[in-house]
Amino acid sequence: MSAEATRAQERPVTAELAKEFGLSAEEYQNALDILGRTPTFTEMGIISVMWSEHCSYKSSKVWLKTLPTTGPQVICGPGENAGVVDIGDGDAVIFKMESHNHPSYIEPYQGAATGVGGILRDVFTMGARPIANMNALRFGSPDHPKTRHLVSGVVAGIGGYGNCVGVPTVGGETNFHPAYNGNILVNAMTVGVAKTDRIFYSAAAGIGNPVVYVGSKTGRDGIHGATMASAEFTEDSEEKRPTVQVGDPFTEKLLIEACLELMETDAIVAIQDMGAAGLTSSSVEMAGKGGLGIELTLDNLPMREEAMTPYEIMLSESQERMLIILKPGREEVAKAIFDKWELDFAVIGHLTDTGNLVIKMYGETWCDMPIAPVSNAAPEYNRPWEPTPKASDVADSVFDGYSEELGDTLTKLFGCPDLASKRWIWEQYDSLVGGDTRFMSGQADAAVVRVPGQTKAVAITTDCTPRYCLADPVEGGRQAVAEAWRNLSAVGALPLAITDNMNFGNPEKPRIMGQFVGAVQGIGEACKALDFPVVSGNVSLYNETNGEAILPTPAIGGVGIMPDAMIAVGIAFKNEGDVILAVGETKGHIGQSIFLREILGREEGAPPPVDLAVERRNGDFVRGLIHEGLVVSSHDAADGGLIVTIAEMALASGIGAYLTGFDGQHVRVLFGEDQGRYVLAVRPDVAATVQEKAKAAGVPVTVLGETRGTSLSGRGGEIVSLKRLREANEGWLPTYMAAEL
């Protein structure tokens, strides 16, 4: 390969090419103005990915700025590779959730696998050992011809990567809805722990300091992946398969160990993984944050393929690569560590005082442009938006004609895709490696993972109810945050902070932009009221195919802390004769409920409103009870309402419930999805104490019944046996997946 051969592959830089690279006419003109000349082909590629929606957040930034991101617990908020939160004793928890939606639809195994790999790197690049992975998945209708294939590939990809790197996958959520037929969502979250005085950031410093490339070799995979993730899908999206990267979890595992080993030395100035837009975004961001220039000579960069051009190298999204700025003279120390782990290591450049990004190869310069003006000029749009019209409440008349036996209704609900057991999925994930997993989600409202070598534990949850967000994005945004906060409180953890993964359709449509704006508003309100700031996040827009958008899905990853993992309480009933209590007020809000959709066949009404002051009061109360050791089992009342919550607690253990609290109540009370509620089981000898404490705290508590037998029953006898519910609940997904792909 030579300079001449490279030039022969380049195309003339024109407005036409810029358009093909995803830039608008105005954006291209802006580039011409900044450089004062026509960009080179390499420069055009670099500018287009830097200004892509995926990398520049151009449609979302103006709104994201309104979110609360600070608090006494926050060490580092959004803007770095991941958020950092203080958990006491000199320890910090570092976490982020990120989407890999577009690639996972095109190539589910590799798309999901590299999603896990990418988020792991975001966390360990800051100095944290990853201790847990979570994921939030949304698939299309089970009837859609691609759904089975996508579920199968995504789950295998997440497992294939996470199991190999040895980080336990401890939970998440999976929903099905026709709105995701053409755009599935794969949101992966990693949580790690580090010492507060050993956290690594990405701002480069020190003119002349060496720029080092480590990890896998660079190939031609993923070129313009960031651009693909910034456009709607059309019929020909299948052709984009070559833009999906291929993951190598074994190399990632070595990279984790090597980076953490290097971090124990004092050789590193700054470090960042090469994620979306690969070497371009890592080099530009590191130099840009440090206000410096960077000069790279690509001839010695480890390459997997022959005859690569500077353009291809700069835009490749090959996985398992990191860029490191070393202190002067530490190259040998660092190289010895990467040699030990048999990973590539190459000094590919140095920092300069020019403020320019300079790319050299084959004896020529292919890019020489100022970093700050190009970064700062990344477009920022205040796109037109329309508020979502408010839906009205659902009238009582919807229940006309409903006369099904309660046991039959429950059996149907437990076998519906959203409530059915996801065992088929989570048994493919190693949830135990590390030996610190107290609960995976499903056993408790949040996963609980002990901090290695200590007694304290972090609790982790992912939450979002997209059907609420569609009906009312503001209320849906509030609810997603409140539910995350509630799930952490329900296991006994003190909620600390969240990461938000905003998945929406095409922001150029005012209706979609309105969903985004509403959700951000709701999230912001809840975060403020609950002292639960946003410390990291990711935005995925253009989740549309042929004009059909997904449900607005602002997935929230919440993290909390507890002083001792053994305090944590799970959802399973433990003893016969425990008193079952409902904490919080039940009005019977049936709009947008699972019952309404699955049993009455209607997706309508307003979602349940969230009273954030009540949310906080009730959650603080439940957490307090758990810390006092008064709670045996605890579960937030969410999808399906109180009766479904109780049945889930029973199924988790095999101990049933004798229910008296619903006698004479309207069916709304059983299945309504009012917020801010928990179901607790307590020993009978403390039930009165708990009720007194509730009265003192002003928290409504009602007795629903007691744990008993192997069925749900009441004064009228058996409602439904746990055996029947279990068959419906455990049967759906394996039966579905066993059918032909």
Residues that constitute the known binding site for substrate: 99-102, 121, 245, 317-319, 540
Q: How far is the CB of 254 from another protein (least distance, A)?
A: 6
Upper half-sphere CA count for residue 383 (Cβ side, 13 Å): 24
Q: How far is the CB of 428 from another protein (least distance, A)?
A: 5
Residue 166's nearest CA partner among 227, 99, 252 is 252
Asked whether the beta carbons of 667 and 404 are under 8 A apart, the reply is no
Mind giving me the DSSP string for 285-320? HHHHHTT-EEEEEGGGS-BSSSS--HHHHHH---SS
- x/- mask, another protein, residues 29-58, rule CB under 8 A, reads ------------------------------
| Alpha carbon of residue 4 to chain centroid | 45
Residue 343 contacts residue 251 (beta carbons within 8 Å): yes
The one segment of 8-16, 72-80, 210-218, 243-251 that binds another protein by CB under 8 A: 243-251
How near is the Cβ of 433 to another protein at its closest, in Å? 6
Taking the least distance from each CB to another protein, the nearer of 102 and 253 is: 253
Under the criterion CB under 8 A, does residue 434 sit at the interface with another protein?
A: yes
- Going by the annotation, the residues of the binding site are 57, 96, 98-102, 121-122, 245, 273, 317-319, 500, 537-538, 540
User: Which amino acid appears at position 463 of this protein?
Assistant: D
**Is 12 a binder of another protein (CB under 8 A)?**
no
**Which residues 264-323 are close enough to bind another protein by CB under 8 A?**
none
- What DSSP string describes 235-295? GGGGGGGGGS----HHHHHHHHHHHHHHHTTT-EEEEEE--TTHHHHHHHHHHHHTT-EEE
DSSP 387: P
- H/E run at residue 20: helix 15-20
Sequence ranges of the binding site for Mg(2+): 98, 122, 273, 538
Backbone φ, ψ for residue 482 (5° rounding): -65, -40
Q: How far apart are CA 518 and CA 286, in angstroms?
A: 33
Calpha distance 70→68 (Å, rounded): 6
Contacts for 633 with CB less than 8 Å, ≥ 6 apart = 569, 570, 571, 572, 573, 574, 578, 649, 653, 680, 681
The neighbouring-strand residues paired with 98 are 188
Of the candidate spans 108-116, 242-250, 506-514, 574-582, the one that interacts with another protein by CB under 8 A turns out to be: 242-250
| Neighbour-count burial of 556, counting CB atoms closer than 10 A to its CB (0-12 exposed, 13-18 middle, 19+ buried) | buried
Check residue 164 for interaction with another protein (CB under 8 A).
Answer: yes
Q: How far is the CB of 221 from another protein (least distance, A)?
A: 17
- For another protein, the binding residue among 341, 468, 504, 732 (CB under 8 A) is 341
In the Cβ-directed half-sphere of 699, how many Cα atoms lie within 13 Å?
Answer: 27
Q: Taking CB under 8 A as the rule, does residue 151 contact another protein?
A: no
Nearer to another protein, 64 or 119 (CB): 119
Nearest-approach distance from CB 253 to another protein, in angstroms = 6
Residue nearer to another protein on the CB measure, 164 or 517: 164
Q: What Cα–Cα distance (Å) separates residue 500 from each residue in 163, 305, 355?
A: 25, 37, 33
Which member of 27, 86, 107, 430 binds another protein (CB under 8 A)? 430
Least Cβ distance, residue 488 to another protein (angstroms): 19
* Piece of 159-167, 352-360, 639-647, 691-699 that binds another protein (CB under 8 A): 159-167
Quick one: which of 640, 592, 649 has its CA closest to 416? 640
Segment 618 to 637, residues that bind another protein, using CB under 8 A: none
Least spacing, CB of residue 610 vs another protein, in Å = 34
* Joined tokens for residue 8: 């022969």
Interaction of residue 172 with another protein, rule CB under 8 A: no
> In the stretch 99-138, what mask flags binding to another protein with x, by CB under 8 A?
----------------------------------------
Figure out which of the listed residues 5, 15, 395, 432 binds another protein, where binding follows CB under 8 A. 432
Reference 596, options 359, 417, 431, 398; nearest CA is: 398
Residue 429, interface with another protein (CB under 8 A)?
A: yes
Count of residues interacting with another protein (CB under 8 A):
32
Binding mask 409-428 for another protein (x = CB under 8 A): -----------------xxx
163 lines the binding site for another protein (CB under 8 A)? yes
Of 230-238, 247-255, 285-293, 388-396: span binding another protein (CB under 8 A): 247-255
Q: Which two tokens stand for residue 562?
A: 């507890």
Binding-site annotation: residue ranges for ATP: 57, 96, 500, 537
Cα–Cα–Cα angle for 62, 63, 67, nearest 5°?
Answer: 120
- Here the tokens at position 3 are 């300079």
Task: Give the Cα separation of 577 and 597 in Å (integer).
Answer: 34
Per-residue contact flags (x/-) with another protein for residues 547 to 566, judged by CB under 8 A: ------------------xx
Stretch that binds another protein, among 80-88, 153-161, 380-388, 483-491 (CB under 8 A): 153-161
| Least distance (Å) between residue 349 CB and another protein | 28
Q: Which is nearer to another protein, 434 or 524 (CB)?
A: 434
Amino acid at 446: A
Catalytic residue list: 54, 100
Helix axes 473-491, 612-627, angle to 10 degrees: 10
Q: Which stretch binds another protein (CB under 8 A): 36-44, 295-303, 432-440, 618-626?
A: 432-440
Nearest to 518 by CA among 486, 463, 479, 549: 479
435 binds another protein (CB under 8 A): yes
Question: How far is the C-alpha of 177 from the C-alpha of 167, rounded, in Å?
Answer: 30
With CB under 8 A as the contact rule, the residue among 177, 450, 509, 677 that binds another protein is 450
Of 254, 294, 308, 699, the residue at the interface with another protein (CB under 8 A) is 254
Say whether residue 641 binds another protein (CB under 8 A): no
**3-state SS, residue 123:** helix
User: Shortest distance, CB of residue 355 to another protein, whole angstroms?
Assistant: 41
Least Cβ distance, residue 247 to another protein (angstroms): 11
Told to check if 159 binds another protein by CB under 8 A, we report yes
The answer to whether residue 433 forms part of the interface with another protein (CB under 8 A) is yes
Is the CB of 307 or the CB of 566 nearer to another protein?
566
Q: What is the distance between the alpha carbons of residues 702 and 705, in angstroms, rounded to a whole number?
A: 9
Say how far apart CA 228 and CA 224 lie, in whole Å: 6
Among 15, 16, 239, 250, binds another protein (CB under 8 A): 250
CB of 171 to another protein, least distance (A): 12
Q: How far is CA 632 from the centre of its chain?
A: 30
Q: What is the largest CA-CA distance in the chain?
A: 87
Under the binding rule (CB under 8 A), the answer on residue 451 touching another protein is no
Q: What is the residue whose two structure tokens read 């002083």?
A: 563
69 binds another protein (CB under 8 A): no
d(CA 150, CA 111): 10
Residue 572, phi then psi, degrees to nearest 5: -70, 135
Residues 6+ apart with CB under 8 A from 101: 183, 184, 185, 186, 187, 229, 503, 540, 543
Which residues form the interface with another protein (CB under 8 A)?
156, 159-160, 163-166, 248-251, 253-254, 341-342, 426-436, 438, 450, 452, 565-566, 654
